[in-house]
Amino acid sequence: MSAVPLHQRIRDEIEGLVRSGAWAPGYRVPFESELMAQYGCSRMTVNKAMSALAEAGLIVRRRRAGSFVARPKVHSTVLDIPDIQAEITARGETYAFRLLAAERRPADPDDGDEIELAGEGELIVLRGLHIAGGRPFALEDRLISLSVVPEAATADFAAEPPGAWLLHHVPWTEAESRISAVGAEAFVAELLALDPGAALLAVERRTWRAGEPVTRVRQLFPGEAYDLVARFGPAR
């Protein structure tokens, strides 16, 4: 009853192994000859699957060396506000992250976001301030699921901001962003050194890895300070 063509099945299985993290970036995917043996098919069939994965950017192929799980480009998924730190230093400004609060605890049973992330397990709950050129640049509130990302328990988010840390440690995620504009509440205005009511760009992003919720972040940017740029067109 397999209406699924073989090259598709090979492709899907490898894609699953990559996206789930079972094969980390840099891992050497089996050679075409090995996959031929494993699936009992011809090289062209394996090749079709692997070429498609390479075109999709999940693997990188090198003659004579083999095929490897790609290291996702930091800028991969457009608009992701990929890495505020990288963004700022690329502009030539100094960057700092001030961790305002950090705790580890189970989900608040009244908070849907927290329950979705933590399940029965625990969360990391963070608040921090991104600082560019000495001036406040963004306020960030973040939740991280410890059941999906146990390594987060021992990460030092004062040294490496959580966004950057997650990008480096949890590749191949999917994300959904909601973007809106809000006026600054009093305590936010104070933290960002703005007048109360000033226009802020609000970004809320939720991220999954192979269907498992990884993190949820809310970021507030002074409206004038940040332009979110998204470009759509031919990938190559």
User: Could you tell me if 208 and 174 are in contact, meaning their C-beta atoms sit under 8 angstroms apart?
Assistant: yes
Q: Tell me if residue 226 falls in helix, strand or coil.
A: coil
Least distance between its own copies and beta carbon 122 (Å): 26
DSSP 151: G
Q: Does 6 bind its own copies (CB under 8 A)?
A: no
Distance in angstroms (rounded) separating the CA atoms of residues 41 and 33: 10
6 contacts DNA (rule: CB under 7 A): yes
3-state secondary structure of 64: coil
CB of 225 to its own copies, least distance (A): 9
| Cα 152 from Cα 102, distance rounded (Å) | 12
**Least spacing, CB of residue 72 vs DNA, in Å:** 19
Q: Which of 118, 200, 214, 217 touches its own copies by CB under 8 A?
A: 200
47 binds, among its own copies, DNA, none (CB under 5 to 8 A by kind): DNA
Residue from 91, 104, 178, 187 that binds its own copies (CB under 8 A)? 178
90 scored as a contact of its own copies (CB under 8 A): no
**Per-residue CA distances from 211 to 138, 146, 155, 206, 207 (Å):** 28, 15, 23, 11, 9
Residues that bind DNA (CB under 7 A): 3, 5-8, 29, 31-33, 40-45, 47, 50-51, 54, 61-67
